[in-house]
Amino acid sequence: MDIAMVGLGVMGRNLVLNMADHGFAVAGYDRDASKVEALRKEGQGKKVEGVGDADDLVAKLTKPRAVMMLVPAGAPVDSVIRDMLPRLQPGDLIVDGGNSHFTDTNLRTKALAEKKIEFIGVGISGGERGARFGPSMMPGGSKQAYERVRPILEACAAKVNGDPCVTYLGSGSAGHYVKMVHNGIEYGLMQLISETYALMKQGLSLNDDELHDVYAEWNAGELSSFLIEITADIFKQVDDKTGKRLVDVILDQAKQKGTGMWTSQDAMALQVPTPTIDIAVSMRDMSSVKAERTAASRVLSGPSHTLKRDRKAFLGQLRNAFYASMIITYAQGMAQLRKASQTYNYGLNPEAVARIWRGGCIIRAALLEDIRAAYQAQPELPNLLVDKKLGEQVMKRQADLRAVVCAAAETGIPAPGFSVSLGYFDGYHSEWLPANLIQAQRDCFGAHTYERVDEKGTFHTEWKSSE
């Protein structure tokens, strides 16, 4: 067999079938016998073998061996490595296709290198359908190890104009880092979409059919993207149990597996502002304290949620506000990747990142072609907002973004994603920020020193107290 897959959950099983469709012989293994059985059934007539024993699995592989795993991040990954290690030989390769934290990937790469086992971390996006018919894959680690699985990954990946949505991204944990930031952007976009939903549902009293129509229309234009497309579909889905629209019987508490939080945490560590991603994580946390929110809603109140605006005009503003904020969200994620690449020596090529996100992944969007082109023209672009075309797109829509933020503030409909996206834009293009006052305060209360506009060096003043 060409490759083994350890972990036959939804993603693992579908990726095995995808590989087999492209002519590769794949052995799938899982400790859960029912999952092995499921693969045997689905893999009938294909070059797929479901294997229930780790020794058998390894014995079936051509040497040097390639073992890919798709298991939940954290302890399960280490457990698979522990399981495989005594069965492998120097020169064999382990591929972690899960959402591992990049620092874990660094540790594993180092520990396995000591045992002469190659290890690469590959972020895979696209959910169940992506895994089956073409995900976007984000590999990092040793280039030469990647070359060994490149034909398999390129064959299975989504294609955009024939170009596979996979490419070697960089050394060490580059692949898992890029996937983490992908998920941070995913969180930001999902928060912004949910805010457009609230503004239309509560502010304009649109019903689910009307919401479907708006998102479907948006998806036919510049906002065309996977997340807008599924959002349109979601409003049509009927609940089998009640006959109502399913979205209306789903509890308003968003869960998370942590990748958005990791993105924000590392952005903070790198000192890169990513407020749209940060607020998206915070609003999921806010959603999860439902009992507290319910109690607070009895004692605290804001203005009436009804928006007194012309419906058609406001929908146009909302669409523009979303497009501008979408650009601002990608700009934050790409800025984080730039800093991470410098700090962790990944050697990332931002154009390549944008290129492999154009298809297969959750954040795929028509906009990514403009982002790719921006980096092709200027690989050292410090921020997408200073790309001429993208910057103009935001500037053209800024009045509408401001109108949406005002509308949200006036009606008390929470839209912090739009608000901080606008704040990021305004902050980024401000030559002056009031940080001189913060420096003065720091020096005043803590003798932390300050720099001056008219002279180089660090200074401290004995500030006069009014006491």
Residues that bind ligand 6PG (CB under 6 A): 99, 125-127, 183, 186, 255-257, 259-260, 361-362
| CB neighbour list of residue 15: distance below 8 Å, 6 or more residues apart | 5, 68, 70, 97, 124, 131, 132, 135, 156
Report the sign of the C-alpha dihedral through residues 148, 150, 153, 156, in that order. negative
| Residue in 42, 118, 186, 229 annotated catalytic | 186
- Count of residues in the chain: 467
Q: From the CB of 126, what's the least distance to ligand 6PG, in Å? A: 5
Enclosing H/E stretch for 141: strand 136-141
Q: Are 461 and 443 in contact (CB under 8 A)?
A: yes
Residue closer to ligand 6PG (CB basis): 185 or 324: 185
Tokens at 114, concatenated: 């000591």
Residue closer to ligand 6PG (CB basis): 183 or 276: 183
Residue closer to ligand 6PG (CB basis): 72 or 427: 72
Residue nearest to ligand 6PG (CB): 125
Type of residue numbered 363: I
Residue closer to ligand 6PG (CB basis): 117 or 169: 169
Tokens at 86, concatenated: 């005594």
Residue closer to ligand 6PG (CB basis): 256 or 383: 256
Q: Are 331 and 384 in contact (CB under 8 A)?
A: yes
Residue for token digits 């009293």? 205
CA gap 2, 153 in Å, rounded? 12
Backbone angles phi, psi at 93, to 5 degrees: -125, 135
CA gap 331, 389 in Å, rounded? 13
Q: How far is CA 172 from CA 103, 115, 181, in A?
A: 10, 16, 16
Residue closer to ligand 6PG (CB basis): 323 or 357: 357
Q: From the CB of 360, what's the least distance to ligand 6PG, in Å? A: 9
Q: How far is CA 40 from CA 45, 246, 348, in A?
A: 10, 34, 39
Q: From the CB of 205, what's the least distance to ligand 6PG, in Å? A: 29
Give the helix ranges, DSSP H, for 412-448.
416-428, 435-446
Residue closer to ligand 6PG (CB basis): 1 or 11: 11
Residue closer to ligand 6PG (CB basis): 289 or 447: 289
Backbone angles phi, psi at 333, to 5 degrees: -65, -40
- DSSP code per residue over 108-126: HHHHHHHTT-EEEEEEEES
Sheet holding 93-96, edge to edge: 48-51, 26-29, 3-6, 66-69, 93-96, 118-125, 136-141
Tokens at 30, concatenated: 């899982």
Q: From the CB of 362, what's the least distance to ligand 6PG, in Å? A: 4
CA gap 210, 111 in Å, rounded? 55
| Residue in 35, 49, 118, 179 annotated catalytic | 179
| CB neighbour list of residue 265: distance below 8 Å, 6 or more residues apart | none
Per the annotation, the verdict on 147 as an active-site residue is no
Per the annotation, the verdict on 312 as an active-site residue is no
Q: From the CB of 398, what's the least distance to ligand 6PG, in Å? A: 29
- In degrees, rounded to 5, the angle at the alpha carbon of residue 402 between the alpha carbons of residues 397 and 408 is 130
List residues with catalytic annotation: 179, 186
